[in-house]
Amino acid sequence: MPQAPLTRLLERARAEGTAIGAMNVITLEHAEAIVIGAEAADRPVVIQLSENTVAYRGSLGPVGLACLRIAEESSTEVCVHLDHATDPELVRAAVDLGFDSVMFDASTRPHAENVRTTAAIAAWCHDHGIAVEAELGEVGGKDGVHAPGVRTDPGDARRFVEATGVDALAVAVGSSHAMVTRDARLDDDLIARLHAAVPVPLVLHGSSGVPDDGLRSAVRAGVRKVNIATHLNLQMTRAITTVVDEGRADPRIYLGAGRDAMALEVQRILMLLSINSEASIDR
Ligand SMILES: [Zn+2]
């Protein structure tokens, strides 16, 4: 199936009162597991590559092209997205390769610089028909440092979107990246106020640390894209560890077990995010 533009998936999620799942690729098995899970759930999905993963792999090309081809061969809608890019050159490379959308993350820079650089990237991407996600209020948690105390102000968020022209906004509402326990408590009242104030869909990063009921209430409050990576890595790694501990040496056996375990959890999470709610306050 042709790749799905992020804006189309977000628009449908808005109309449904649901959220799109956005899951991170590190190995080929990740990309396969995400798409297998999405096909089983009969839901669209975003497969995303982070700048950190591109650095780990050494270049964007091989893994990026694999993601694009997996999306094309899928029977469900798949958006291929660049996650947490801080380097404008990587944004340009991803767009040139055929990615559907990018997240440009200048959230650690001074505010005026975040606005200026994000606006320039958004203008360039829009000229190329590509949607841009940005972040305001650093979600934190990279490098093992949890920062669940950071919050995005609704007025600042609205002004940031108006000044930059971005298509989706990642906000800090109580989650933190790379959590291996699911006990983060989100500020649903703040999500609802951000949803009312910001004219574009909200994105939740650090969703691995959020329990199922927290994800559901975040969607009810207005989150439209849910980024989840560490939680799925845990499912994969546990399954691989079990098989390796049995003495199996063939990577197809242990990586296959990891892929199967991850696909099942992808399916479950996508179903969770697709449950519509009467209580949705969507516009
Ligand atoms: Zn993130």
pTM of structure: 0.93
From first to last of its 283 residues, the chain has per-residue pLDDT tens of 888 999 999 999 999 999 999 999 999 999 999 999 999 999 999 999 999 999 999 999 999 999 999 999 999 999 999 999 999 999 999 999 999 999 999 988 898 999 999 999 999 999 999 999 999 876 666 644 445 678 899 999 999 999 999 999 999 998 888 888 888 889 999 999 999 999 999 999 998 899 999 999 999 999 999 999 999 999 999 999 999 999 999 999 999 999 999 999 999 999 999 987 544 444 3
Q: Return the pLDDT at 198.
A: 97
In a domain, 72, yes or no: yes
DSSP code, position 45: E
The Cα 168–Cα 132 span in angstroms is 7
The range of the structural domain enclosing residue 228 comes to 6-281
Catalytic-labelled residue, pool 42, 83, 212, 245: 83
* Catalytic (active site) residue 83: yes
How much distance in Å is there from the Cα of 253 to the middle of ligand 1? 30
In a domain, 230, yes or no: yes
How much distance in Å is there from the Cα of 48 to the middle of ligand 1? 10
In a domain, 1, yes or no: no
Percent of the chain with pLDDT over 90: 82
Q: Between the CA of residue 91 and those of 50, 96, 224, 278, what are the distances in Å? A: 11, 9, 23, 38
How much distance in Å is there from the Cα of 247 to the middle of ligand 1? 35
How much distance in Å is there from the Cα of 178 to the middle of ligand 1? 9
Contact 186, 174 (CB under 8 A): yes
How much distance in Å is there from the Cα of 204 to the middle of ligand 1? 8
Q: Using one digit for the tens of pLDDT, what is the confidence trace for 135-175?
A: 987 666 664 444 567 889 999 999 999 999 999 999 999 88
Q: Which residue spans within 101-253 are E strands per DSSP?
A: 101-104, 131-136, 168-171, 202-204, 223-228
CATH number at residue 105: 3.20.20.70
Q: Return the pLDDT at 32.
A: 98
The Cα 283–Cα 19 span in angstroms is 14
Contact 120, 162 (CB under 8 A): no
- Specify the number of domains making up the chain: 1
